[in-house]
Amino acid sequence: MNKLLLAFIASVFLLATTSAQAATAVTGFAGSLAAQVMQQGQPLSEREIDPKTYVVYVTKTGKKYHMDGCQYLRKSKIKTTLADARKAYEPCKVCKPPK
Ligand SMILES: [Zn+2]
């Protein structure tokens, strides 16, 4: 839903740049739409993750890091941060932690 809205807003802005007469009204309308989208709040995306505080888990023997609850964490589970884990480990292909 948000993606559709954003695409619509982008096309409206494109129109506005090619139509000087409609520009004022259209950008005002698009602006209020954009404000509505912002107020709804965006889902957490990878860009918003802070690797220094984002918790992931590694195991004693594995070479991958995991999200909490991953099946590979049954034997050992060592808490660490994404910033540290990505230095020496690969993201698990099963639980798909952020890279
Ligand atoms: Zn995993």
Distance in Å, CA 95 to ligand 1 centroid: 4
pLDDT per residue as tens digits for the range 34-55: 565 555 555 555 568 999 999 9
User: How much helix, strand and coil, in percent to the nearest 5, is found in the chain?
Assistant: 50, 15, 35
Strand extents, DSSP E, the chain:
55-58, 64-66, 78-81, 90-91
Distance in Å, CA 52 to ligand 1 centroid: 19
Distance in Å, CA 84 to ligand 1 centroid: 16
Distance in Å, CA 68 to ligand 1 centroid: 8
Phi and psi angles of residue 54, each rounded to the nearest 5 degrees, phi first: -75, 120
Domain spans of the chain, in order of start: 2-40, 49-91
pLDDT per residue as tens digits for the range 40-93: 555 555 568 999 999 999 999 999 999 999 999 999 999 999 999 999 999 999
Instruction: Give pLDDT, residue 34.
Output: 59
Rounded CA-CA distance 24/29 in Å is: 9
Distance in Å, CA 98 to ligand 1 centroid: 11
Distance in Å, CA 90 to ligand 1 centroid: 10
